[in-house]
Amino acid sequence: MSSIRRFLVPIVALASMFPVDALPASAATQTTITFSVAGGGTNGTVGLDAVFGNTGGGGAYDRMVRWDANNQLWNYDQVLGSPTYGWRTTATGSMTVAGSADLMRLELYPHPTTTCSGTNENDACYWLTYDPWIGTRGGAHVQVAATQGANWLDVGTVRLPTLGVDGAFRMDGDVLSGSPVPDGRLSIDFFQVDCNWHETCVHPPVNERGNSYGTFGTSTNRANRWTGGVAWPGRYIIYVRDLARDIHLHGFVDVDASRIPTIDLDSPCFGLDTCVMDRGTVPPAAGGFHPTNPARILDTRKGWGITNGMLRFGDGSQSSTNPILRAADTANHDLRVLGVGGVPSTGVSAVLLNITAIEPATNGYITVGPRPAGLGDLFDDQHSYGEWPDASNLNVRTGRTVPNLVLARVGAGGRIRLYNYGYPLHMVADVAGWFDTGSSVTSPGGLGFFGVTPARILDTRNGIGGPAGASRFEADDDRTIFIRGVAGVPANAESVVVNITAVDPTGTGYVTAYPSGSSIPDASNLNLLRDQDRPNLAVVKIGQDGMIRLTTREAATHLLVDVQGYYAPTGAGSRRTITMNPVRIFDTRNGIGTSGGRMGPGETRRVQVAGPSGVGGIPAGATAVYVNITSVAASAWGWLAVWPTGGERPDVSNVNWPGGTDIPNMAIVPLGTDGTIQLYNDPAVTGSTSTDVLIDVMGYVI
């Protein structure tokens, strides 16, 4: 039985089922299945679903029998209108269907009580059906196929999961949602299955005939709780239907008494480990921000986050038929971001990460996106692969360690996916905070984004920033920077958005920004290269004293700090962030969102971001946008600035580059007139610097 990898469509609750004949009346052959039930003193009903050559049957019961407290199987009167309809008639040990079936599936429903005789309709509990919410025993299923050999129809004994026996437990979990969850909003079917030979899971029980069986059932939610009844530990395929929004999906989860999945209706796959969408899509959540102290969740050099070495080429999809190679490639590109680094395991829509490529061997780029919900066959381990966003988050050049901040929507199984267009390389990722799914009940305290007119608060070249800005940072220097009450940042701000730029570093090293009052984290925001001016956006939690700290390691450098905005409490869920799959809205190389080719020295262009004429589908009501801006093949040293249309160009930069390089940097920009922003290319010291520019949107504020 353990070799069978396909299961029938789940059958609706017994109360709505009637036995049917799935074969034409002219069928000349019969198929008889024999089995016994170890019911443990219960009464119950067995439904048989037969499949004929994979072309007939399936999805409805062909026959039904009942068993009594002594485990005896009984036929019963199934003629509607008969005086004895529903009464048991003759004892049996088998079930027969017309036709030559090649697959038989038994589904066993115990009655919710052990006190009825199961004799006839005069028993108070005779007509009761299996209710997973009550009782000490659960439903069970077993499936056999003709491929098992000559005796495949002799099933043997099937026993029910019994609370406290053989590890059986109550599979009762939570339901999360930003909208009301009345009783019956969810319909849930669950089937225990076995994992494939190369995977690790708790296997279903096996009887004396070598047939595996498992927990089975159908239920609905009761407010913010769901149940799988009494169940054995192991792997389950679970079908969840959100009837309020007509969203249907099914997926795999591994379950035991200490690990029961939370069904999160605002998350991809409803929080399941993996899924296939059957109908509808989960809409993106408008979430509040929750800052964290910087924490490293990925370091391929040490086996953190991704345990099997350097990030390889591609997105993890594999054309090889070897399942071990396929699983290894998936594991090399999918990074779990929930439940690590201060990020909760549920109720999360997106994370802010600083990702770093470590000394790549070739030029290339990295794109970060959610692990998609799947399409097609759930049992195909490639079901979640398809088209990848035409966007980039980090451009890398041979031998140069480079970072960039990324807003990453969380995907199926609480994971994001990394696409590497280049040679294998080591990667590091540090989490700076997370966004909730918009529920004030499950994730109170989410912060909203407020943009400010960009302002420089630190420049060690000319003393801006007071004593902290009086001189360059030396190696292992550590200084505080006032944030609250500066550059439009109010007293209730809890996190600040700053662009940090290193100017004239003396060697290789890194810069870390972190909350004042906390210890220096094992994380970085900006990596230093000798004589290379390089910016990176950082979102930094503000210390209780209203300050952040900057520390440099291994090299000296001048530092510039420009404030772009802050996160603070808001009312009525306003100024929340909606994360999306990365989408390119501006590309001077091919005319996306612009015309006129490369940006010339001193040129300003208006970029349409939101509204009907926007490229990326950002709504007209958006107030700010998360963008990744990339300078491509600049002719000489220079810099770009971006700001909302309608305001004056600020005296700050967003992207700095040496000539001939591809340099990205993230920005969070308030939207100006008609949902547009302005982009300026400085002529720089040569007076003739030109560059191609790409803009990719990762999310917006509404």
Looking at the fold, whether 275 and 326 belong to one and the same domain comes out as no
Average pLDDT over residues 664-686: 94
Q: Do 640 and 650 meet the contact criterion of CB atoms below 8 Å apart?
A: no
Looking at the fold, whether 615 and 567 belong to one and the same domain comes out as no
Separation CA 379–CA 381 (nearest Å): 6
- Whether 7 maps to a domain, the answer reads no
Burial 418-451 (b: 16+ CB within 10 A, else e): bbbbbbbbbbbbbbbbbbbbbbeebbeebbbbbb
Looking at the fold, whether 603 and 685 belong to one and the same domain comes out as yes
Domain boundary residue, one of 523, 554, 574: 574
Residues of the chain above pLDDT 70, percent: 92
Confidence of residue 660 (pLDDT cuts 50, 70, 90): confident
The number of beta carbons lying within 10 Å of the beta carbon of residue 131 is 18
Beta strand pairing call for 88-92 and 447-459: unpaired
What is each CA distance from 421 to 94, 107, 329, 388, 424, in whole angstroms? 59, 49, 15, 12, 9
Q: What confidence score (pLDDT) does residue 17 get?
A: 31
For residue 37, list its beta bridge partners.
158
What is each CA distance from 322 to 316, 318, 394, 476, 699, in whole angstroms? 14, 9, 31, 49, 37
Looking at the fold, whether 85 and 97 belong to one and the same domain comes out as yes
Q: What confidence score (pLDDT) does residue 11 get?
A: 35
Beta strand pairing call for 103-110 and 88-92: unpaired
Confidence of residue 120 (pLDDT cuts 50, 70, 90): low
Looking at the fold, whether 256 and 290 belong to one and the same domain comes out as no
Q: 278-320 pLDDT, tens per residue?
A: 999 999 889 999 999 999 999 999 999 999 999 999 999 999 9
Helices (H) and strands (E) in the chain, counts: 1, 43
Looking at the fold, whether 607 and 625 belong to one and the same domain comes out as yes
Looking at the fold, whether 508 and 419 belong to one and the same domain comes out as no
What is each CA distance from 652 to 335, 445, 561, 641, 649, in whole angstroms? 34, 32, 9, 7, 8
Q: Do 120 and 83 meet the contact criterion of CB atoms below 8 Å apart?
A: no
- Which has the minimum average pLDDT: 123-132, 265-274, 635-644? 123-132
Separation CA 183–CA 655 (nearest Å): 52
Q: What confidence score (pLDDT) does residue 182 get?
A: 97
- Whether 518 maps to a domain, the answer reads yes
Looking at the fold, whether 554 and 593 belong to one and the same domain comes out as no
Is the model's pLDDT at 401 over the cut of 50?
Answer: yes
- Whether 405 maps to a domain, the answer reads yes
Domain boundary residue, one of 556, 574, 592: 574
The domain in which residue 605 lies consists of: 576-702
- Whether 622 maps to a domain, the answer reads yes
Separation CA 204–CA 214 (nearest Å): 6
Handedness of CA 616, 622, 628, 633 (dihedral sign): positive
Best CA proximity match to 444, nearest among 267, 271, 289, 284: 289
DSSP notation for 44-74? EEEEEEEEETTTEE-SS-SEEEEE-TT--EE
- Whether 234 maps to a domain, the answer reads yes
Q: What confidence score (pLDDT) does residue 27 get?
A: 47
Domain boundary residue, one of 245, 279, 313: 279
Is the model's pLDDT at 657 over the cut of 60?
Answer: yes
Is the model's pLDDT at 484 over the cut of 60?
Answer: yes
Confidence of residue 85 (pLDDT cuts 50, 70, 90): confident
The number of beta carbons lying within 10 Å of the beta carbon of residue 112 is 20
Q: Do 407 and 349 meet the contact criterion of CB atoms below 8 Å apart?
A: no
Separation CA 370–CA 397 (nearest Å): 25
Looking at the fold, whether 80 and 227 belong to one and the same domain comes out as yes
Residue 542 DSSP code: P
Residue 601 DSSP code: T
Residue 685 is part of a domain; what is its CATH number?
2.60.120
Average pLDDT over residues 604-631: 92
The angle subtended at Cα 309 by Cα 304 and Cα 315, nearest 5°, is 95
Residue 156 gets the label, from left (phi > 0), alpha (psi -120 to 50) or beta, of left
Looking at the fold, whether 378 and 253 belong to one and the same domain comes out as no
Average pLDDT over residues 394-416: 95
Is the model's pLDDT at 25 over the cut of 60?
Answer: no
Q: 182-201 pLDDT, tens per residue?
A: 999 999 999 999 998 888 89
Q: Do 528 and 489 meet the contact criterion of CB atoms below 8 Å apart?
A: no
The angle subtended at Cα 514 by Cα 509 and Cα 515, nearest 5°, is 160
Domains in the chain: how many in total?
Answer: 4
- Whether 8 maps to a domain, the answer reads no
Handedness of CA 91, 92, 97, 99 (dihedral sign): negative
Structure tokens at 247: 């969203």
- Residue written as token pair 């000798």: 530
The number of beta carbons lying within 10 Å of the beta carbon of residue 605 is 18
- Whether 6 maps to a domain, the answer reads no
Instruction: Tell me the pTM.
Output: 0.90
Best CA proximity match to 9, nearest among 63, 57, 65, 62: 57
Is the model's pLDDT at 1 over the cut of 90?
Answer: no
Mean pLDDT over each residue of the chain, to the nearest integer? 90
Q: Do 550 and 543 meet the contact criterion of CB atoms below 8 Å apart?
A: no
For residue 14, give the 3-state DSSP assignment. Answer: helix
- Whether 274 maps to a domain, the answer reads yes
Looking at the fold, whether 305 and 252 belong to one and the same domain comes out as no
Is the model's pLDDT at 26 over the cut of 50?
Answer: no
Looking at the fold, whether 635 and 590 belong to one and the same domain comes out as yes
- Which has the minimum average pLDDT: 101-115, 160-174, 530-544, 601-615? 101-115
What is each CA distance from 252 to 195, 239, 372, 381, in whole angstroms? 10, 9, 14, 11
Q: What confidence score (pLDDT) does residue 69 get?
A: 86
Q: What confidence score (pLDDT) does residue 658 get?
A: 85
Confidence of residue 701 (pLDDT cuts 50, 70, 90): very high
Q: 334-381 pLDDT, tens per residue?
A: 999 999 999 999 999 999 999 999 999 999 999 999 999 999 999 999
